[in-house]
A and B are shown apart, each in its own frame.
Chain A
Amino acid sequence: MAPFLFNLFACFTIAAAVGVVLNKNAINCAMCLLLCLAGAAGLFIRLDAFLLAFLLLLVYAGAVIALFLFIIMLLDARGRPGPTQRGLHTVAGTAAAAILLAAVVGFVSQSGPDRAVPGPPLAVGASLKLYAQPLFTVYLLPVQVIGFLLLISMLGAIALSRRPPPGS
């Protein structure tokens, strides 16, 4: 039962990811990315990371995909295809991705014995407390830094999207 769920979510995620790469239409790509994120959230649940699965759906599938769709609709850049000399690019890109995949999988398969049985899963109710404890003790400074990063990125997005005054 357990490997079946893993295989199901893995195939779903991979198929959706391939759809992101191969779809011609940008909106279809965004929808495939949404499906891929849903599959990844399912895999997170398989790993007992319930809170992270929920956050992934909330932040990525909720906010980021909506932002992508807004930008696609705002720019509406259909048609006008780019230059079509793609043969060499396709071969080189596929070869580079295959080399990357072979390197990582080779490294993983050489890295000692596989681990099949993890420790006992965390109790579901205790999960939030387990996340909060390191966030407010060990990782307090990164949390502050990331708060400032969010503030600065918000200001940056506003500054970038402001139209320049017509005189300049």
Chain B
Amino acid sequence: MIPASLNAFLALSALLFAIGFLGVLLRRNTLVIYMCLELMLVAAMLALVAFSRFNGTVDGDVFVFFILTVAAAEVAVGLAIIVALFRQRPTLQVDRHDALKN
């Protein structure tokens, strides 16, 4: 299978990243913000795989391995933090967690 073209994949990756960024900025639900963060990671992975394929090297794919691992660790710790926050104050809205606000 011959991929479409490198720029098409990069534009798609940029669009996916921008959508994730928009979600992080717009949404108030902590869990949904976290999902949008994962979306941005997937966009970065897509760009890395595309570069790796079009350059004929395997380094980008290896980085995607690392991103997958770090993302799994990040989700585990992040969700534990969200649960701990929920025990402090039983809401998922980010703007209710304003203990550091002046």
Contact = CB atoms under 8 A, between A and B. Distances in A.
A23 B17 CA distance: 18
Contacts, number: 226
Interface of A: 2-3, 5-6, 10, 13-14, 17-18, 20-21, 26, 29-30, 33, 36-37, 40, 43-44, 46-49, 51-52, 55-56, 59-60, 63-64, 67-68, 71-72, 74-75, 77, 80-83, 89-90, 92-94, 96-98, 100-101, 104-105, 108-109, 114-119, 121, 130-131, 133-135, 139, 142, 146, 149-150, 153-154, 156-157, 160-161, 163
A118 B11 CA distance: 17
Contact of A93 (B26, B80, B81): B26
Contacts of A115: 5-7, 54
A96 B59 contact: no
Contact of A46 (B3, B19, B59): B3
Q: Is the interface of A mostly helix, strand, loop or mixed?
A: helix
Contact of A60 (B38, B54, B62, B87): B38
Contacts of B27: 21
A20 B53 contact: no
Given A55-B68, A149-B73, A68 B35 contact: yes
Nearest to B60: A49
A104 B79 CA distance: 30
B14 A146 contact: no
